[in-house]
């Protein structure tokens, strides 16, 4: 029986990008490679890039004293549902941080986060559970980020910004710096489109695109 078994939940593009981070982190901790697997709800191949792929039920059935899992699912609504499922089944939450991530002063990050290579988080930042920060994203000073927020690659989140739960920030988007006591706010469940330049608050549930970012018209 293994002391611990570790899994990346999701074997599609997001999961395949996260798996090398997981392998590197476990290697630094001296954990054997065979203690790391993919978990997928509908696996179609037995292995991907050298790691076994298990169905969720098979992962639960593996002989191990502890089981850790990180959710590599870009869709934050699905990520929230799977987090609840894993918690109900007694799985332990696992967080991943690439070796070259820069985290400065007074930063608090909730469980289950994934910080990809070249991510920078500066100072006095609060981040919730199951945050995904993809390649080359940054979070500047005095930001507050909620649970299940996703940053696609290259997001520029400047200082004094509040991002509420379940928001999605697209590739290359730029969030203008807010002011102390008057932050720029991205509302709950909002979507900021690829390359958008956000200069004012985004309402909850809205999708904004363009430079400057504007709410998409609904047909």
pLDDT tens over the chain, length 219 residues: 678 999 999 999 999 999 999 999 999 999 988 999 999 999 999 999 999 999 999 999 998 999 999 999 989 899 999 999 999 999 999 999 999 999 999 999 999 999 999 999 999 999 999 999 999 999 999 999 999 999 999 999 999 999 999 999 999 999 999 999 999 999 999 999 999 999 999 999 999 999 999 998 654
Instruction: Name the pTM for this structure.
Output: 0.94
CA distance 102 to 93: 22
Name the residue with tokens 């630094």.
28
Would you call 166 a catalytic residue per the annotation?
Answer: no
CA distance 63 to 140: 43
Q: Which of 130, 132, 141, 166 is catalytic?
A: 141
Give 29: exposed, middle or buried? Use CB within 10 Å, 0-12, 13-18, 19+: exposed
Both tokens assigned to 164: 């509420």
Domain 2-94, CATH among 3.40.140.10, 3.40.720.10, 3.80.30.20, 3.40.50.20: 3.40.50.20
CATH class of the domain at 97-209: mainly beta
Half-sphere exposure of 25 (CA within 13 A, CB side): 21
Q: Where are the domains of the chain?
A: 2-94, 97-209
Helix (H, G, I), strand (E, B) or coil at 51: strand
């Amino acid at each position: 029986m293994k002391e611990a078994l570790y899994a990346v939940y999701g074997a599609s593009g997001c999961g395949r990008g996260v798996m090398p981070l997981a392998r590197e982190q476990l290697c630094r901790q001296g954990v054997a490679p065979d203690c790391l697997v993919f978990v997928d709800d509908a696996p179609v191949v037995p292995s991907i890039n050298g790691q076994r792929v298990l169905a969720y039920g098979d992962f639960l059935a593996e002989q191990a004293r502890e089981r850790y899992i990180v959710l590599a699912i870009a869709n934050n609504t699905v990520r929230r549902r799977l987090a609840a499922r894993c918690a109900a089944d007694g799985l332990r939450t696992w967080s991943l941080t690439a070796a070259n991530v820069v985290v400065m002063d007074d930063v608090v990050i909730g469980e289950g986060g994934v910080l990809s290579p070249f991510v920078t988080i500066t100072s006095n930042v609060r981040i919730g559970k199951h945050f995904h920060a993809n390649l080359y994203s940054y979070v500047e000073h005095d930001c507050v980020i909620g649970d299940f927020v996703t940053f696609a690659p290259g997001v520029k989140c400047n200082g004094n910004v509040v991002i509420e739960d379940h928001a999605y920030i697209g590739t290359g988007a730029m969030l203008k710096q807010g002011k102390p006591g008057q932050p720029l706010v991205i509302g709950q469940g909002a979507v900021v489109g690829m390359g958008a330049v956000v200069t004012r608050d985004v309402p909850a549930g809205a999708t904004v695109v363009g430079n400057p970012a504007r709410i998409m018209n609904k047909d």
